[in-house]
């Protein structure tokens, strides 16, 4: 399992904000700010719509400079585009289709609702030099993280940059 104060594994994944598909390299974003990785099992699963929508509505993420939010699941970018459109998500969704990043972070369920290797519900905040500053994860996909706790961990990171 990854832990705070260690270096996050760098990655380059395909992703989308709306229509365009691009590749996203983690260290390009942590050089100029912080990144919050939001791991989740699947687009359109009930647990994800209940969690990502309130997360997206968190004003402190939308209006905080130098913070980028990346949702990560095994879904393909085309499913992400539809998910973003349907729920008006305001952050990037990345496709870890082979589960490499999920595995590197040791955040894969052995099995969740009859699917192997899908990402656990997790939040990972990464600061400069790809240093992990905060981790929240759960075995229970229906458990929600504390957005207040996440906000408290982001404030010092925005002051650094």
Q: Give first-to-last CA distance, the chain, whole Å.
A: 27
Q: Quick one: how far is CA 18 from the chain centroid?
A: 16
pLDDT at residue 131 is higher than 80: yes
Q: CA 33, CA 5: separation in Å to the nearest integer?
A: 16
C-alpha 102/C-alpha 72 separation (Å) is 8
Which of 66-70, 107-111, 147-151, 156-160 has the highest mean predicted lDDT (pLDDT)? 107-111
Do 22 and 103 form a contact (C-beta atoms < 8 A)? no
Q: Would the CA dihedral through 7, 12, 15, 16 be positive or negative?
A: positive
User: Which fold, 12-18+26-143?
Assistant: Glutaredoxin (3.40.30)
What is the pairing mode between strands 21-25 and 12-16?
Answer: antiparallel
pTM confidence score: 0.89
Contacts of 86 (CB under 8 A, 6+ apart): 44
Q: What is the pLDDT of residues 16-47, one digit of tens each?
A: 987 889 999 999 988 878 899 999 999 998 77
Q: What is the mean pLDDT of residues 77-105?
A: 92
Q: Where are the alpha helices (DSSP H) in 8-146?
A: 26-30, 46-56, 59-62, 77-87, 100-104
- Averaged confidence pLDDT in the chain: 85
The structural domains of the chain, with segments of one domain joined by +, span 12-18+26-143
């Amino acid at each position: 399992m990854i832990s705070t104060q260690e270096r996050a594994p760098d990655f380059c994944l395909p992703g989308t904000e709306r229509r365009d598909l691009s590749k996203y390299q983690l260290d390009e974003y942590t050089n100029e700010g912080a990144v919050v990785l939001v791991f989740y099992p699947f687009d359109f699963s009930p647990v994800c719509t209940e969690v990502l929508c309130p997360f997206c509505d968190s004003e402190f993420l939308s209006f905080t400079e130098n913070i980028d939010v990346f949702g990560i699941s095994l879904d393909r970018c085309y499913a992400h585009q539809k998910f973003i459109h349907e729920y008006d998500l305001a952050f990037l969704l990345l496709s870890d289709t082979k589960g490499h990043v999920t595995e590197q972070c040791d955040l894969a369920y052995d099995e969740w609702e009859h699917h192997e290797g899908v990402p656990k519900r997790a939040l990972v905040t990464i600061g400069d030099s790809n240093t992990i500053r905060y981790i929240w994860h759960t075995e229970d996909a229906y458990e929600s993280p504390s957005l207040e706790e996440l906000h408290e961990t982001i404030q010092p990171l925005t002051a650094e940059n």
